[in-house]
Chain A
Amino acid sequence: MSLPIGEQLQRISAKLRAEIGPAVTDEYTRTQTFMASVILERISKQIVLGSDHLKVEQQEVAMLHEQLARILVDVPDVIVHARLAAEESLEVAALGALICELYAWGADEKLVEDALSLIRPVLRADIDRRMEIAR
Chain B
Amino acid sequence: MSAALEIEAMMASYVRERLEIDDIVTIEDVTRIAVGWSHETWLFDAVWPSTEGEHRRGMCLRRDPGNALLRQTSDLGEQFRVLRCLESTDVPAPKAYWYEPDPDVLGAPALVMEKVSGECPSPWRKTGREYYSAAADRGVLPLSFTDALAAIHNVDWREAGLDFLGVPDAGNSFARSEITKWRGLIDESGHSGHPVLDDLTGWLEAHAPSTDRLTLVHGAYRTGNVLISHDQVSAVLDWELQVIGDPMYDVAYMLTELNREGTNLLSNVVPRELFYERYQSMTGIEIDDEICRYYQLLYAMRSAAFWMSAAGLYADGSNTDLRLARTEWSVTVALDRAAQELGY
Contact = CB atoms under 8 A, between A and B. Distances in A.
Interface residues of A, number: 30
A47 interface: no
A68 interface: no
Contacts of B36: 28
B325 A95 contact: no
B202 A103 contact: yes
Interface in A92-135: 92-93, 95-97, 99-100, 102-103, 106, 116, 119-121, 123-124, 126-127, 130-131, 133-134
Given A93-B194, A124-B339, A124-B344, 19 more contacts: A31-B323, A32-B322, A32-B323, A36-B322, A42-B326, A93-B195, A96-B193, A96-B194, A100-B198, A100-B202, A103-B198, A103-B203, A106-B206, A120-B342, A123-B195, A123-B339, A127-B335, A131-B333, A134-B329
Nearest to B325: A39
Contacts of B333: 131, 134
B137 interface: no
Contacts of A120: 199, 339, 342, 344
Chain B: interface size category: 20 to 34
What is the interface of chain A mostly: helix, strand, loop, or mixed? Answer: helix
A106 B203 CA distance: 11
Interface of B: 35-36, 192-199, 202-203, 205-206, 321-323, 325-326, 328-330, 332-333, 335-336, 339, 342, 344
A80 interface: no
B332 A35 contact: no
A102 B202 contact: yes
Contacts of B193: 93, 96
Interface in A23-66: 28, 31-32, 35-36, 38-39, 42
A121 B344 CA distance: 7
A93 B198 CA distance: 10
Contacts of B322: 32, 35-36, 39
A127 B336 contact: yes
B335 A103 contact: no
A127 B332 CA distance: 7
Closest 10 CB pairs of A and B: A103-B202, A35-B322, A134-B329, A134-B332, A96-B195, A96-B198, A95-B195, A99-B198, A130-B332, A120-B344
Contacts of A97: 198
A37 B76 CA distance: 34
Contacts of B321: 32
Contacts of B192: 93
A131 B336 contact: yes
Interface centre among B192, B206, B326 (most CB of A within 10 A): B326
21 contacts: A28-B35, A32-B321, A32-B322, A32-B323, A35-B323, A42-B328, A42-B329, A92-B194, A93-B192, A96-B193, A99-B202, A100-B198, A103-B205, A103-B206, A116-B199, A120-B344, A123-B199, A124-B339, A127-B196, A130-B335, A131-B336
Contacts of A119: 195, 199
Nearest to A117: B344
A42 B322 CA distance: 13
B332 A99 contact: no
A95 B333 CA distance: 20
A33 B297 CA distance: 34
A124 B203 CA distance: 16
